[in-house]
Structure 1
């Protein structure tokens, strides 16, 4: 009998299923163990389904939000639990990223210093303040939704679209480093961001409807674009931390814009 441990993993071929699993491994802390080998370059293809991973993250955290509300908890408490759930599922991946970006951009005098600070594992004042604001804005937005079910829908779309926009950042922004996630992934082919755009549009329109879906898409693009422009001016492009910061900023833009548009 063949020992299961001795089986040779199949190579990565860039199928939809493989891309989905690769994206799930990179963007969450769910216990997924693909039965194929891959490296950073797989993200060039896998990034096309980032929005689908956001759909899962948003669906799980949105369910926490709804269940907590139905249990009679105040909306703000439900919102805090949902955000906490999101942090646990993703391993605070993007929160850690935007904290590093805040420290680097705020404390570095030039590109080299900024990149060095971003790599430093120590947490500075800029990171602490930014994380307080980021989490506070998410909780405040979700905690003030007029209808919990609408809050659930907006949370799901925000999680999906904001992660889908990472694909465009990978395509449009050059790597600011000669190493790391942003450089190792490489620039995806144009089909990856185009597929991501289609998926984001379908998710937003089907869940929120034409009007609110358009608000979510436009606000997410504005937030991601602003963060991308700042990163280009500060360090000349993107890093893994910048990609995470883009996700966080666009997600907050979507939550706040949709709250205003309801």
Structure 2
């Protein structure tokens, strides 16, 4: 019985670490995580993402029930997901856009990405992110289909993060990504399987395949940019990867689920 109890305890611990890693919900122990614990817990990122998406879906459904138009309900849903995550991924997207777009040297790009101020590239990136996601949700309209779109987008967008962390080395030794460590192969495989399963169940196998191909291409392009321009990945790069993945899955959902198809 003890090994089973230990496994269950590890699963609960990993879920708490993953949730605290991508949300502002204080679910993990306040004690510092042991070495390698965060990297190991990355398998649970899709689960944490699913819960974030579900929270946004509940807000959308309540807003729709109250008679609000799809556009307003979609805006409230997006505001909710940004609030529960502390806009962590949006911040990463903005910093990545500013750094990769504005700096001339590797050192300058990393310096810009660490700067809390936002530049024109970051503003444009956030406008595009919120605009595309809002448009996709408003086009889908149906609360049930929006639920499927949100949970699949948030789960799948985070499912590729462990693989990205494993394949692309940290750009600097003292950043968030470097402190988290490189996820073991088992965590990478489980996260990918959970993300794929969520996509397939929510959107169907064919649509899930389209989403996976787009996510893979986006990951390869971002990885190449990050390696060439700053020598690897950072926490901001990972946030940008999540945002791009979220956008792509919502666009796929809008294209196929619009009108209930």
Q: Give the TM-score, by structure 1 length.
A: 0.90
Which stretch of structure 1 is more off in the superposition, 93-102 or 221-230?
Answer: 221-230
**Offset at 1:34?**
2.0
Q: What does 1:48-127 correspond to in 2, within 5 Å? A: 48-127=43-122
Match of 2:206 in 1: 211
Distance 1:67 1:228 in 2: 39
Answer whether contact 1:40 1:181 (CA < 8 A) is retained: no
Would you say how many aligned residue pairs link Structure 1 and Structure 2? 250
**Offset at 1:79?**
0.6
Residue 140 in 1 paired to residue 135 in 2?
yes
Match of 1:24 in 2: 19
Over the aligned positions, Cα root-mean-square deviation in angstroms equals: 1.8
Deviations along 1:196-219, one digit per CA (max 9) or x if unpaired, are 111111111122222222233332
**Offset at 1:86?**
0.5
Q: Flag structure 1 segments of 5+ consecutive residues without an equivalent.
A: 1-12
Distance 2:120 2:225 in 1: 20
CA 1:122–1:76 in 2, change beyond 3 Å: closer, same or farther? same
**Offset at 1:178?**
1.4
Q: Flag structure 2 segments of 5+ consecutive residues without an equivalent.
A: 1-7
- Structure 1 stretches of 4+ moved >3 Å: none
Distance 2:22 2:9 in 1: 17
Answer whether contact 1:158 1:216 (CA < 8 A) is retained: no
Answer whether contact 1:175 1:238 (CA < 8 A) is retained: yes
Distance 1:138 1:38 in 2: 34
Distance 1:169 1:256 in 2: 22
Partner of 1:31: helix, strand, or coil?
Answer: coil
Distance 1:91 1:124 in 2: 19
Q: What does 1:1-262 correspond to in 2, within 5 Å? A: 15-34=10-29, 37-38=32-33, 41-145=36-140, 147-262=142-257
Answer whether contact 2:70 2:141 (CA < 8 A) is retained: no
Distance 1:238 1:211 in 2: 31
Distance 1:126 1:97 in 2: 12
Q: Give the TM-score, by structure 2 length.
A: 0.90
CA 1:162–1:211 in 2, change beyond 3 Å: closer, same or farther? same
Partner of 1:167: helix, strand, or coil?
Answer: helix
